[in-house]
Structure 1
Amino acid sequence: MKITIGTRVTCVLHYFGEGIVYDAAGVPAPATVRELAGGAVTTGGNARYSVVFANGAVARDVSEAVILGVQWSIREGVADAEEIAAALANAACVKASKASAEEMKAVRIAAEVAALKADPTHSKLVQGEDFYSGKLAAKNIRQELKAAFPGMKFSVTKRHYGSVSVKWTDGPTVDQVDAITGKYKSGYYDPHEDLHSNKVGPWHMVFGGVDYLNTGRDYSSAHLQRAIDAVFEKNGDLDGIEKPTPETYGRGYVVVPGSNYCLAELVLMEARKLGPQ
C-alpha cells in the first residue's frame, strides 16, 4: 500500500491515535516490507514519513516498515493541504501549551522545595541531592521512625543501589510505618508502558528518594498469642476448634465454620491489625 502526503493513519499506541502524513522522504517500496517473528517485527521499505496526530503529537522520520506494521493502520481518504496545515497549527499550539504548563510546574516545584528546606518541622532530617539510590532516604527514614516510635528497633537496610528494606518485629502496623516511609519512594509501576518508572517530587529533591522500598513486619510469640486470643474472643469458641499456640497455629488447614478463611489466616489478619500494647 503506497503512502503519500495526506495519507490518514492510526497508531494504536495510547499517546498517538489518528494522524495524517505531512512529509515524506525516499522512494516508497511497500512490496519489500516483511513481517518477522509472527508480526512482532517488520522490516523492509525505503521511505520515511512524518505524521501529525489529532491530539497534537508529532512523529518524525517514521520508517515505511513501521507504518505498515501491526501497530499502525491506513485509513480511507487523503487530507488536503488545508487540513494538514490546520493539524500542524494545532500541534504547535499543543506544544506551546505544554511548554507553558511545564514552566508553571517547574515554578511550583521550586517553591515546594524551598518551603521544605526551610520548614523547621524537618530540621532533624538531612538534606541533599539523592533522588534514586536510597542512601539519603535510608538515613532520613531511620530518623523519622526513631522519632515516631521511640524505643522501637527497626532494621533499615540499603541492599543495593535504589533499594531499601525496612524490617521490624511487633510494634506499629505496616500501614503506620508506610505512612512515614512511603513519601521516600520515587519508583513506581507504569501500567500504560508495562515497566518500572520514576517520578521525582519535591520531597525526594530535598530529603532523598529510593526506587524500590519494601516494608516487612515480623511477629513474636507474644504478639501471635495476642492475635490468637483476639480471634477466639471475637468468634466465641469457634465451634469447638482447639485453641492453638503461637507455635502450632499454622499447622494444617483448620476450617473455620461460617468464615471464608482458615484459622491460620484469621490469626495472621488479626496480627497485622494489632499495634503496640
Structure 2
Amino acid sequence: MNDTTIIQRGTRVHCILAHAGEGVVTAVREDPNARNTYVIGLPGLERVRSTGQHLYDVVFLNGHFSQGVPETIFRGVQWHILERLAEEEEIARLVAAHLQLRAEDEAAAERRRFAFEVERDQLKADPANKHLTQGDDQSSGLLAAKNIRAVLRRAFPGERFSVQKRSWGTVSIQWEDGPTEEQVRGLVDRFRSGSFDGMQDQYVSEKTPWNAVFGGTKYLNLTRFHSPALITRAIAEVMAQLGDIGVGVSTAEDYAAGKLWDIEVPGAHGLESLIRMRASRLAG
C-alpha cells in the first residue's frame, strides 16, 4: 500500500519511531533536491522523466511534528499509510495542539537556560570556590584535571593522587590506600560532563553549570591501589585464618606479580581473591 497509495493532505499514517506514532499529513510538496531520471533512446531523442519525489509534513497525535520527510523514507519500513482521510477540523486541532506543545517546550527550555545561568554565576562568585581555576573548557578534561587536583589536595591533605588527562576527554585518578573510592567519587563526579547510555549505545552529553565554570571530562576513571604494607597485613591475617593449607609463605611481591591467582582454597575463593577482599576491608 505504501508504494502505490496517493498521499495528500489529510492522509493518516503511522510511524514506528519513538517520538511519533499515529499522525496526519499536513502538507505535500516537491522535493527540490530530487534528481531526474534519464531514459536512453535513439540519438537526439533522449527523454527526461522526473522521479516525482515529494516531501511530507506530518503532525502526530502526541503533539510532535515532522517536517520535510523525504518520500524515500516516508514509503519505507518505518512508515505505514492508514485508511480514511482526516477532516480539516481534525487537522486544525492537531496543528493547534502541536503549537501549544512547542510553546510549552520553548518556555521550559528558557526556564532551564535561565536556571543554568543563575547557578553558573553563583558558582563563579562563591568564595568557597576561590581555590579553583575558572575557564570555558567543558569537556576536554584539561581544566577539570587541574581542578580535581585542587579539590583532592584540600579534601585529603597529605594523600598522594595521580590525576592525568588522557585521550578522548578522559581523566584518570589513581592513589594508594587512603580514602575509599566512594569518598573520592563523591568529590569528583561533578566534573563529569556526560555519560554513556547503554540503551542508546551512545555517549550523552550533560554539561552542567559546574562544567561551564570549572571544567568537564567525558569519562572519569578511578583506581585505588593497595600498598605493599597493607597487602602484607592482609596476607598475614588470611593465612592465620586459613591455617596450614600447604601453601608456603606468600609475600606482597608474590601478590603483585600475580603468583597467587591460581592457588585454590578449599571451600572458599582463590587465595588472591581472599587477600584482595581482606585488604579492602583493612583499607576501610
TM over 0.5: yes
> 1:178-233 CA deviation, whole Å, 9 max, x = no partner?
11111101021134532112111111111111122222222222222334455567
Match of 1:246 among 244, 249, 252: 252
Question: One-letter code of the match for 1:245?
Answer: T
Give the letter aligned to residue 123 of structure 1.
Answer: K
Mark the CA change 1:60 to 1:185 in structure 2 (over 3 Å): closer, same or farther.
same
| Partner amino acid, structure 2, of 1:203 | W
1:24 match: 28
CA–CA distance in 1 between the matches of 2:275 and 2:57? 61
CA distance in 2, matches of 1:81, 1:26: 22
1: CA distance, partners of 2:52 / 2:250: 71
The question of whether the paired residues in 2 share the 8 Å contact of 1:45 and 1:63 is answered with no
Structure 2 residue 275 is matched with structure 1 residue 263: no
Whole-Å separation in 2 of the counterparts to 1:90 and 1:218: 58
Contact 1:238 1:256 in 2 (8 A): no
TM-score, normalising length: structure 1: 0.81
Write the letter of the residue equivalent to 1:253.
D
SS in 2 for 1:110: helix
Asked whether the 8 Å contact 1:168–1:218 carries over to 2, the reply is: yes
2:198 aligned with 1:194: no
Asked if structure 2 preserves the Cα contact closer than 8 Å seen for 1:173 and 1:273, the reply is: no
Change (3 A) 1:93 1:223: same
Contact 2:230 2:283 in 1 (8 A): no
Per the alignment, residue 173 of structure 1 pairs with 180
Displacement, 1:252? 4.3
Which 4+ residue blocks in structure 1 deviate beyond 6 angstroms? none
What residue is the counterpart of 1:237 in the other structure? 242
Q: Does the 8 A contact of 1:184 with 1:203 survive in 2?
A: yes
Q: Who wins on radius of gyration, i.e. which is larger?
A: 2
User: In the aligned structure 1, how far is the partner of 2:106 from the partner of 2:170?
Assistant: 33
In the alignment, the residues of structure 2 paired with residue 56 and residue 240 of structure 1 have an alpha-carbon distance, to the nearest angstrom, of: 70
Question: Residues 37-186 of structure 1 correspond to what in structure 2 (within 5 A)?
Answer: 46-160=53-167, 162-186=169-193
| Shift of residue 241, structure 1, vs aligned partner | 7.0
Is the Cα contact below 8 Å between 1:254 and 1:263 reproduced in 2?
yes
**Aligned-pair Cα RMSD in Å:** 2.7
Cα deviation 1:42-74 (Å, max 9, x = unaligned): xx8712101112222211110111122233333
CA spacing shift, 1:238–1:189, aligned 2, 3 Å? farther
CA–CA separation in structure 2 for the residues paired with 1:155 and 1:93? 52
Query: Which runs of 5 or more residues in structure 2 are unaligned?
Result: 32-36, 38-50
Q: In the TM superposition, what whole-angstrom CA distance separates every residue of 1:114-162 from its partner, at most 9, and x where no partner exists?
A: 2222222222111121111111111110001111111111111112462
Give 1:239 shift.
8.8
* Counterpart contact for 2:261–2:271, Cα < 8 Å: no
Determine the C-alpha separation between the residues in 2 that align with 1:228 and 1:54: 66
Aligned to 1:15: 19
TM-score, length-scaled by structure 2: 0.79
